[in-house]
Amino acid sequence: MFKKITRRNFIWFSLGFVAAVGTTKVTLNYHSKQKILALDNPAKDFTVIGTSSLKERAAVKGLMYGTAIRNHHLWEDSKLAETLVKECQILVPEWALKWYIPNPALRPEPNIFDFSEVDKILAFAQNKGLQLRGHTLVWHESLPPWFQDTVNSNNAQQILEQHINTVVGRYAGKMHSWDVVNEAINEGYLLVREQKNNIPNNLKNNLRKTPWLELLGDNYIDKAFRLTHQADPTATLVYNDYGLDYDTDADEAKRNAVLNLLENLKSKGTPIHALGIQAHLDASETNFNPDKLRSFLRDVASLGLKIMITELDVTDEKLPSDIEMRDRIIAKTYEDYLSTVLSEPAVTTVITWGISDKYSWLSDFKPRPDKAAVRPLPFDANMNRKLGWNAIARAFDNARLRS
């Protein structure tokens, strides 16, 4: 019945299969490239009126603009320091207030707190009239090497209390806000998988399996906020997360899970004051739906929460190599996103995760395949303003005045 497959037939079939796969890949590649090129509009200008800085443009609308900063960059690069003071009203240490990034680390040993770097950045901010925000008290990343062998279910509560009371207590009254808990909700694609398996969208199922969850149970988030509020009643307390921006199944699932968490916390009387949206954007992402994002922001605001854009940057990892085209598409991404989020009055602060391409974490985290320097931020490596700066400036200029 089945014709014996001769060697020759098998070879022809295999060649045909490989050719079909190859053609499909080329076609898909071609279409994705066309979609990205369609994002570019060489005619679109990003004209900015006047010479005001981002700080000044934000302030006249009752907003604040700022950036994350690695301490040593500030001490080593006077041009960076000068630009940052001119353009920013608020700073966030990119490393210094994490449990352990050796620069030197805040928590080198279980009973040692090294505040040297934090004290220096706070003094710098105070001296320049800038605000400082803390990032982050409870996170599953940047934990010290000693954490796993030292912290267990018997002492985890005491160690969390010690960390928050010592760190938040030291800077009580001097911090604008704290990212109390960072990235506690599962990755969006995992939430989508749970939905497909009919696992209910509730706190227990949505939480990322972190050491804090394993050690303290699903009430650890409420505990952390209560401890922080007790240690510094003046600070705005923030839940911070990413993957909330786009019209994709994963981001939609994550928006729903974050909203569920916020509703849960508010219903328990947790002292939470704001949602931090990291906003690590992708210039090649075409699934951006302003109405869906605005609807989510309205739902968050309806809980009586403020909203902070806490880690804004735009990866150009998948963009063509042409620099002028990259800068235009990145600027469009900034303006489209910020004009959307700033239409929500509850959005009060915009912080970019770095201010200059020279120091972006994306150089390591999302390097370009062509090895070209990444261009995700408002200033280039020589501290010159880019179209991204214009886009942010235009978004502030067009924003409504906050009451």
- CA dist 396 to 62, 298, 342, 347, 401, Å? 10, 19, 8, 12, 10
Q: How many residues sit in the footprint of ligand XIL (CB under 6 A)?
A: 5
CB of 180 to ligand XIL, least distance (A): 12
The three-class DSSP label of residue 350 is strand
Site for ligand XIL in 321-350 (CB under 6 A): none
What is the token pair recorded at 288? 């951006």
Q: Please, which residue, 311 or 335, has the CB nearer to ligand XIL? A: 311
Spell out where 177-235 has E strands: 177-182
CB of 256 to ligand XIL, least distance (A): 21
CB of 88 to ligand XIL, least distance (A): 17
Q: Please, which residue, 45 or 141, has the CB nearer to ligand XIL? A: 141
User: Quick one: which of 361, 367, 372, 385 contacts ligand XIL (CB under 6 A)?
Assistant: 361
Name the active-site residue from 87, 252, 285, 311. 311
Torsion (CA) 284, 288, 290, 295 in degrees, nearest 10: -140
* 352 touches ligand XIL by CB under 6 A: no
Cα–Cα distance measured from residue 149 to residue 147, given in angstroms and rounded to the nearest whole number: 6
Q: Please, which residue, 53 or 186, has the CB nearer to ligand XIL? A: 186
Place of tokens 């210094």: 96
* 75 touches ligand XIL by CB under 6 A: no
The three-class DSSP label of residue 64 is strand
Q: Please, which residue, 131 or 278, has the CB nearer to ligand XIL? A: 278
Q: Please, which residue, 48 or 184, has the CB nearer to ligand XIL? A: 184
User: Quick one: which of 55, 63, 80, 94 contacts ligand XIL (CB under 6 A)?
Assistant: 94
* 245 touches ligand XIL by CB under 6 A: no
Question: Does the active-site annotation cover 335?
Answer: no
Binding-site string for ligand XIL from residue 177 to residue 216, where x marks contact by CB under 6 A and - marks none: -----x----------------------------------
Query: How many separate helices (H) and strands (E) can be counted in the chain?
Result: 16, 9
Q: Please, which residue, 210 or 278, has the CB nearer to ligand XIL? A: 278
Report the phi/psi class of residue 50: left, alpha or beta, with left for phi > 0 and alpha for psi in -120 to 50.
left
Cα–Cα distance measured from residue 391 to residue 337, given in angstroms and rounded to the nearest whole number: 10
CB of 278 to ligand XIL, least distance (A): 6
Spell out where 128-265 has E strands: 131-138, 177-182, 236-241
Residue 299's identity, in one-letter code, is D
- CA dist 217 to 157, 181, 194, Å? 10, 14, 20
CB of 164 to ligand XIL, least distance (A): 18
User: Quick one: which of 311, 327, 344, 380 contacts ligand XIL (CB under 6 A)?
Assistant: 311
Name the active-site residue from 87, 183, 335, 344. 183
The residue number whose beta carbon is nearest to ligand XIL equals 361
- CA dist 131 to 1, 34, 178, Å? 81, 43, 12
For residue 169, give the H/E element and its range.
helix 156-170
What is the token pair recorded at 240? 């911070």
Question: Does the active-site annotation cover 183?
Answer: yes
Residue 151's identity, in one-letter code, is V
- Cβ proximity of 328 and 334 under 8 Å: no
User: Quick one: which of 71, 89, 278, 340 contacts ligand XIL (CB under 6 A)?
Assistant: 278
Which positions are catalytic?
183, 311
**Interface with ligand XIL (CB under 6 A):** 94, 182, 278, 311, 361
